[in-house]
Amino acid sequence: MCADVAPSSRSPPKLNPVRVTIREEEVGERSGDFREVIHSYSKADAVLEAKRCIQCRRPWCVEACPITQDCREYIRLIAAEDFDGAARVTLRDDPLASTLCKVCYHYCEDSCVVGKKGVPVAIRHLKRAAIDHGTHDLVYVASKPKAQRIAVVGAGPAGLMAAWELAVRGYPVTVYEQESQPGGLVRTIPAYRMSMEDLATDLERFRELDVTFVLGTKVGRDLAPEALLKEGFAAVFVSIGTPAHRILGVPGEDLPGVIPALGFLRRANEGAPLPVGKEIVVIGGGDVAMDSVRTALRLSGGGHVTLVYRRSREEMPADAEEFEGAKHEGISFQFLRAPVRIVGQKHVEGLVVQAMELGPPDAGGRRSPIPVPGSETTIPCDTVLVAVGQKADTTGFGAEWGLRLASQGWPEGAGPAYRTAIPGVFAAGGRSVVYAMGAAMEAAAAIDAYLAEKRGEAPTPRPDPFGGNGSFHLPAGYTKPIRV
């Protein structure tokens, strides 16, 4: 399996195109319950896979990672069988590593040079191997304490990353969260992909930092946003994400049996009883739709699940890995079908759909669906899950806050510093866990620069979060500047 890929001084390094296979639960066994589908590499397999990395002088993988995780370095350490060192490097850059090693969409792998000849190095699976086989019960500590207090609104990945970045620099941080638990939309990711214990493991490493969580408090309802500025916070980071679901806007959407996917997934994770029938239709084409079809299948006790999407597979935004997982588990797909109305007497009995054909590309570059006249058909069903997107809830944040909505829905400030109209207030979010964290990383650096200027000091480089003497350094060969 493993070829010798050590670079020679004369010839270019040989690329081994074949990835070491990762073990997955058998389809027949996994689709009836919530056991984790993907396993961890064994130590031996992780070392073999890590040896496929040619340790590029310019680390394309690191440059593609929104949080500049030094994956090249942890892979080098795994190849040298130093799993403790690899775990330390992983956690040094990534405070949510136990989460991301399972759910990150691994943008790094899209840039891996080995991918030019075959399958890229399994950078995300190797991160998991570092965590699983190395010492990962490390605890973060703050550098020299600072007096300026910071409020973070929203404890999703963006809020948690900002809290971590600022707390390790020595700032006391108070995080306000409307839900009873931190995590944001991560708490809707199904247990067959990651468990909530993974998130808890990540948060446990925060325990020595000066981060206070005020849970069950919605800013804008339980507490006026202005109060944060009056309560002595020197800066506020707004990371309220997209916790609300979008509706379809078709007749029949209020019938019993029509369920918004976001609440459905959240309740499934909490183990709440869910009224899933035997003929389930999920509407949507993104990752939430993929999680919904596979969760519904598991809860239906042998039921049949169909996904309805108004464009074709090529335009579908869902992650390829998630789509393949759903396909293997027996989900039916109806592409180029758009919902027209939901029908039923006292409960859902069917979804009426209209055929679509693809027209010219829209502003986003995807081909637009155009209805085909006279093409309506009915899909009989007893449950409809609506997974057509999420949106922000900015209730209570007046126009003076200048919270612009990003094209995918979350509030964010302007420019690379994520500043809002109010001095000292910053806002960010992102389309995936690591993108939200990456934006928060940049915003936190901007908040530190803002507060350092008020103290008459230079910005604080991110210190070693484990209390060592060094500060956070970008890996050698890295060329992409961090924006502040």
Ligand X SMILES: Cc1cc2nc3c(=O)[nH]c(=O)nc-3n(C[C@H](O)[C@H](O)[C@H](O)COP(=O)(O)OP(=O)(O)OC[C@H]3O[C@@H](n4cnc5c(N)ncnc54)[C@H](O)[C@@H]3O)c2cc1C
Question: How crowded is residue 8: how many other Cβ atoms within 10 Å of its Cβ?
Answer: 9
CA torsion angle 113 119 121 126 (round to 10): 160
User: Which burial class, exposed, middle or buried, applies to 253 when counting CB atoms under 10 A from its CB (0-12, 13-18, 19+)?
Assistant: middle
Which of 154, 430, 389 lies closest to 261, judged by CA?
A: 389
18 lines the binding site for ligand SF4 (CB under 6 A): no
Q: Helix 287-299 to helix 261-270 angle, to the nearest 10 degrees?
A: 50
Which region, judged by CB under 6 A, interacts with ligand X, from 4-12, 150-158, 268-276, 416-424? 150-158
Residues contacting ligand SF4: total by CB under 6 A: 27
Which of ligand SF4, ligand X, none lies near 121, with the C-beta cut-off 5 to 8 A by kind?
Answer: ligand SF4
Binds 245, which of ligand SF4, ligand X, none (CB < 5 to 8 A, cut-off by type)? Answer: none
In the window 405-464, what residues touch ligand SF4 (CB under 6 A)? 434
* Residue 95 contact among ligand X, ligand SF4, none, beta carbon within 5 to 8 Å by kind: none
**Which of these segments, 47-55, 187-195, 329-337, 393-401, binds ligand SF4 (CB under 6 A)?**
47-55
Confirm or reject binding of residue 114 to ligand SF4 (CB under 6 A): yes
The DSSP call for residue 304 is E
> Is 283 near ligand X (CB under 6 A)?
no
Q: Which is nearer to ligand SF4, 65 or 387 (CB)?
A: 65
Please select the residue that binds ligand X; options are 36, 82, 179, 464, rule is CB under 6 A: 179
Q: Are 130 and 78 in contact (CB under 8 A)?
A: yes
* 90-109 residues near ligand SF4, rule: CB under 6 A: 94, 100, 104, 106-108
Query: Which residues between 117 and 136 bind ligand X (CB under 6 A)?
Result: none
Query: Which residue shows structure tokens 């293997």?
Result: 328
CA distance 309 to 216: 36
**Number of residues in contact with ligand X, rule: CB under 6 A?**
41
- Those residues with Cβ within 8 angstroms of residue 315's Cβ, 6 or more apart along the chain or in another chain: 285, 358, 366, 367
- Which stretch in 25-33, 119-127, 283-291, 475-483 sits in contact with ligand X by CB under 6 A? 283-291
Output the DSSP codes for 64-114: HSTT---HHHHHHHHHTT-HHHHHHHHHHH-TTHHHHHHH---HHHHH-GG
Is 236 a residue that touches ligand X (CB under 6 A)? no
How far is the C-alpha of 5 from the C-alpha of 53, rounded, in Å? 7
Residue 107 near which of ligand SF4, ligand X, none (CB within 5-8 Å, type-dependent): ligand SF4
Nearest to 166 by CA among 241, 103, 240, 239: 239
Distance between CA atoms of 284 and 323, rounded to whole angstroms? 12
Return d(Cα 466, Cα 468) in angstroms, integer: 6
Regarding 46 and contact with ligand SF4 (CB under 6 A), the answer is: no
Does the footprint of ligand SF4 cover residue 74 (CB under 6 A)? no
Using rule CB under 6 A, residue 121 touches ligand SF4: yes
- Is position 53 an interface residue for ligand SF4 (rule: CB under 6 A)? yes
Q: With binding defined as CB under 6 A, does residue 188 bind ligand X? A: yes
CA distance 256 to 15: 56
Binding site for ligand X (CB under 6 A): 103-105, 153-159, 176-179, 184-186, 188-189, 218-220, 239-243, 262, 265, 287-288, 291, 393, 410, 429-434, 436
Binding site for ligand SF4 (CB under 6 A): 53-56, 59-61, 65, 67, 69, 71-72, 75, 94, 100, 104, 106-108, 112-114, 121, 123-124, 127, 434
